[in-house]
Structure 1
Amino acid sequence: MSSDPFVMPLPGAIHQHAGNPWLRPKTLLPAAFVLLLILAVIAPHAFAAFTPDDMDMNAVLARPSLAHWFGTDSLGRDLYSRVIYGSVLSLSIGLGATAVACGGGIILGLLCALAPPTIRSVLVRLLDILLAFPELLLALLVIAVLGRGPTNTLLAVGLSGIGSYARLLRSQVLQVKISGYIEHAVALGESPTHIILRHILPNSLRPLLILATLGLGQSVLTSSSLSFLGLGVVPPTAEWGALLADGRDYLDIAPWISLLPASVVALSVISITLLGRRLQTILATGI
C-alpha cells in the first residue's frame, strides 16, 4: 500500500501478495503429483493390483481396460503395475544420482574456490572441461567404462551432473568469503576449517539445494534415457526407460505400451521441475 492517498494500488499487486503462496494451484498441483510419486515409491503394492512380473498369456497386448488400466505388454504383464513398481527404481536412481552430483559438486566447488592458487587453477580447468560436455554424453562415457545396471546408471548420471553444482557453489563461495562476517571471523582468529564449515558452507548451500530440486527431474529423465537406449537398467527389470524401450516394436499395433508410461514420465519430470521452480520463487520473493 502506498502512503500517498491519491495513488491507488494496482489490483494485480494486491492479489499478488494476498494469500499463502504454498496454497496456490500452481504449487499444490505439482506438489500433489509428487506426493503420489512418493507414496508409490514407499508402498507400490498399495497402488498396483499385480506384481511387475506377473504374466497372463491370455491377455497379451490387451488394450487398456478396467482390469488393466494401462493395458498389457507382449508378455501379458500389467503395464500400470510395471509403471508403479518402475517408479521405485527410477526415482531411487534419480535421488541417488542427485545426491552424488550434489555431494561431488560441493567438494569440487569448495576446492575450486578455496584451494591454493596452483591447485585451484587446475581444478577450474577441470570444471570447464566437465561443463563443456553435455551431461548425457558424459553419462554415456561413464556407462561405457562401468557397464550397465542400476548402480552404474546412478553413478553415471550423478558424476555427469557434478559440474553444474560445482560451478554454482564456487560462485556462491567466492561471494560469501569476501563478506564482512568472514573478515570478522578471520580477525577473531578462527581456524580456516571452522570458518569454512561454520560460516562459508552453510551460507552458500541454499541455491544449491534449490538446484538439486530442479536437478532431480533431470536426473530421472537422463537415467530413463539411458535405459531407453539399452545402456541403463537391464531388462526385464521394471524401470521407466526400459518400459518405453519395450514398446518400440509395437507402436503400430499397441501404442499404449509406450505412450502411457511416457505420459507418466513426462508428468513426473514436469511436476518435479515445476515444484522446484515454485520453491525457488517462494524462497526468493515470498510469492
Structure 2
Amino acid sequence: MVQITANMNETPVAITEKVSGPWRDAWRAFRKNKIAMAGLIMILFFILIALLAPVLAPYDYKDQQLADRLKPPSSEHWFGTDDLGRDLFSRVLYGARISLWVGTFSVLGSIVLGTALGILAGFYGKWIDMLISRLFDILLAFPSILLAIAIVAILGPSLQNALYAIAIVNIPTYGRLVRAKVLSLKNEEYITAARAIGMKNSGILLRHILPNSLTPIIVQGTLGIATAIIEAASLGFLGLGAQPPAPEWGKMLSDSRQFIATAPWTVLFPGLCILLTSLGFNLMGDGLRDAFDPKMKNR
C-alpha cells in the first residue's frame, strides 16, 4: 500500500500495488495452469486420505476373515476383499501412507546427497569434479530398477531398504542437475563480487549458489516422487519392498495377480491408486516447470 500526497491540504490517495516476486509470479502462473492444479488436487487428496486412514478405514487392514475371502465390492466392503478376507478399502487407505512416505523421503534423500555432491563437483572442479562425475557415471550405467533390486538383495528385503535403494539410484539425477547449474552460476558477476569482498566459499555456497539452484531441484523432485512411487511398487511387486502384512500397493498387486480373472477388483483399486498418484505428481511437476521457466510466461 503506497500513499501519495501532493500537498498538505490534499487527502492522501491510496494506490494498491500488486506485490511481485519470482516465487509469487511462479505461483500465479501455476494457478492459471488448470492441468497442474488438477495434479495438485489429486496429490492433496491422497495426502488427506493417508493422514485420515485410521479414521476413514472401516476395518483393521490386518484383520483376516477367511469366510469373506474374494468378495466383490459391496456396501459392506466398498472395494471388496482379498484372498485372506481383508477389506481392500482399508488396505488401500493405509497403502497411501506407505507409498507417499517412501516416495517423499527417498526423493528427499536423493536431493540432499545429490545436491551436496553436485555443488562440490561444480564449484570446486578439478579432481573433485572428476571423482564425483565418475561416480555418477557408474550409477547411471545400470538401469535404475536393476540397481535398486541389487541393493535390496544385498541389504535384505524390507520397506526401509527399498527406500534406501531408491534414494541411491536417483542421486545422479539431482547431482548432475545441480552440477550443471553451479557451473553456470559460479562465474556470474555477483559471485565474483562476493569473492572480492572476502566472502568465504562456504558463505558463497550457502547464500548464493544453493538458493539460486533450488528451482530445478524443486521441479525435478516433484517429478521424481512419481518415479519413486512406481519404483517402490515395483520392488514390492517383486517381494523386495514392504513385507506382509504391510498394505503396500505394489505388494497388493503381487499377492492378487493370480486372481485377475476371477477377482479383478483385487488388482484394480491398488493399480488405480498407483496410476493416479503418479499422474498427480507428474502433472504438478510439469506445471511447476512451466511456472518457473521464464520462456513459458510469454506463451
TM-score by length of 1: 0.89
Q: 1:222 aligns to what? A: 231
Report the secondary structure of 1:203's partner residue.
Answer: helix
Deviations 1:107-137 (A, max 9, x none): 1111221235123212211111122222112
Deviations 1:71-94 (A, max 9, x none): 100111111110110111111011
Shift of 1:252: 2.1
Q: 1:145 aligns to what? A: 154
Does the CA contact (< 8 Å) of 2:33 and 2:287 recur in 1? no
Inter-partner Cα distance in structure 2 for 1:21 and 1:169: 23
Residue 181 (1) aligns with residue 213 (2): no
Inter-partner Cα distance in structure 1 for 2:190 and 2:141: 35
Inter-partner Cα distance in structure 2 for 1:244 and 1:273: 22
Inter-partner Cα distance in structure 2 for 1:193 and 1:25: 41
Inter-partner Cα distance in structure 2 for 1:199 and 1:103: 17
After the TM superposition, which residues 24-173 of structure 1 pair with which residues of structure 2 at under 5 Å, given as runs?
24-115=33-124, 117-173=126-182
Report the secondary structure of 1:70's partner residue.
Answer: coil
What are the ranges of 5 or more consecutive residues in structure 1 without an aligned counterpart?
Answer: 1-18
Report the secondary structure of 1:159's partner residue.
Answer: helix
Residue 22 (1) aligns with residue 31 (2): yes
Inter-partner Cα distance in structure 2 for 1:209 and 1:55: 42
Shift of 1:52: 0.6
Say if 1:200 and 1:281 are closer, same or farther in 2 by CA, change over 3 A. Answer: same
Question: Superposition RMSD on alpha carbons, in Å?
Answer: 1.6
Q: 2:291 aligns to what? A: 282
Inter-partner Cα distance in structure 1 for 2:37 and 2:84: 38
Say if 1:24 and 1:112 are closer, same or farther in 2 by CA, change over 3 A. Answer: closer
Say if 1:74 and 1:29 are closer, same or farther in 2 by CA, change over 3 A. Answer: same
Structure 1: 4+ residue segments shifted above 4 A: none
Does the CA contact (< 8 Å) of 2:136 and 2:172 recur in 1? yes
TM-score by length of 2: 0.86
What are the ranges of 5 or more consecutive residues in structure 2 without an aligned counterpart?
Answer: 1-27
Inter-partner Cα distance in structure 2 for 1:220 and 1:40: 16
- AA aligned to 1:248 is R
Inter-partner Cα distance in structure 2 for 1:99 and 1:210: 13
**How many positions carry a matched residue from both structures?**
269
Inter-partner Cα distance in structure 2 for 1:49 and 1:119: 55
Shift of 1:176: 0.5
Does the CA contact (< 8 Å) of 2:30 and 2:287 recur in 1? no
Inter-partner Cα distance in structure 1 for 2:32 and 2:185: 33
Q: 2:12 aligns to what? A: none
Counting aligned pairs with the same residue, the percent is 38
Inter-partner Cα distance in structure 2 for 1:199 and 1:162: 22
| Stretch of structure 1 that moved more, 127-136 or 220-229 | 127-136
Q: 1:206 aligns to what? A: 215
